[in-house]
Amino acid sequence: MEGNARKVPLNRNRREQRSEESRARILAAATTIFAEKGPDGARVDEIAKASGINKRMIYAYFGNKEELYAEVLRSNYNKIYALSTKAVDLKRTPKENVTRAVRAYFYFLAENEAFVRLSSWEALNGGRFSRKVLPSFVDLLVLAFDDIVKDGIQRKFIRPNIDIRQVLFSIQALCLTYFNRRELMQPLWQEDLLSGEMLEARLQHILDLITDGIFYHGEAVE
């Protein structure tokens, strides 16, 4: 009896671990295929083949293709939230925190072309799936950055009339546009827009616009 009692939790843990690994494989394959073909063009058969997980299990985990697509969006938004909030440390100055958070988001986009493509598909489709996911994500970001803004206002670095949702919208637009319009804008530059130097130049431009917009001029701590 004692031996069996010990085996049950171990077996359950292994099942849970296998389940999490299977979900991760499905989400990784689905991200790639949805990014390439969009939510309407992608097929569950393709995702099953790419992930090595049969269709029955995909439906068991996610319900249907639409819910799987929504979960792909949600998992990516969660990664962005985790990276951005991890960059924040209230022991630092408000400007340092804004800079670190924007940098984290910008380089997430630079390293995740699939998510950039997914964002383009959502724009083309009127955001019909991201509407299920994005509001709660934005609410989390607003809460996360509310402390930065309040700290900056109290210390007289940030203007007191700042609308944080407008700031988040501006950051998203300035960063995302660089990547989803890159091929259209590449002819304006001889340099590769994805080179390290060009990425840093673009990021610095974005940071200048954002910090000039929300901080008191000449008073933000470097």
* 120-174 pLDDT tens trace: 998 888 888 888 887 777 777 887 788 788 888 888 888 888 888 888 889 999 9
What is the pTM (predicted TM-score) of this model?
A: 0.84
What's the mean pLDDT in 103-112? 95
What pLDDT does 135 receive? Answer: 77
What's the mean pLDDT in 18-41? 94
Rounded distance between C-alpha atoms, residue 151 and residue 119, angstroms: 32
Give start and end residues of each alpha helix (H) in 42-93.
44-51, 55-62, 65-86
The answer to whether residues 197 and 190 touch, using CB atoms and an 8 Å cutoff, is no
Q: Given pLDDT bands bounded at 50, 70 and 90, which one contains residue 68?
A: very high
E strands, the chain, are none
> 69-222 has which fold?
Tetracycline Repressor; domain 2 (1.10.357)
What pLDDT does 16 receive? Answer: 79
pLDDT of 5 > 80? The answer is: no
pLDDT of 181 > 80? The answer is: yes
In the chain, CATH 1.10.10.60 sits at 1-63
Q: Given pLDDT bands bounded at 50, 70 and 90, which one contains residue 71?
A: very high
Tell me 187's DSSP state. G
CA distances 90 to 4, 19, 167, Å, are 49, 37, 19
Q: Given pLDDT bands bounded at 50, 70 and 90, which one contains residue 1?
A: very low
> 1-63 has which fold?
Arc Repressor Mutant, subunit A (1.10.10)
3-state secondary structure of 121: helix
What pLDDT does 222 receive? Answer: 42
In the chain, CATH 1.10.357.10 sits at 69-222
- Name residues whose C-beta falls within 8 Å of residue 121's C-beta, 6 or more positions apart in sequence: 34, 35, 38, 39
Tokens of 4: 């069996």
Look over the chain and give the mean of its residue pLDDT values, rounded to a whole number: 87
What pLDDT does 36 receive? Answer: 96
Tokens of 38: 């969009």
Rounded distance between C-alpha atoms, residue 132 and residue 134, angstroms: 6
pLDDT of 48 > 90? The answer is: yes
Q: Given pLDDT bands bounded at 50, 70 and 90, which one contains residue 4?
A: low
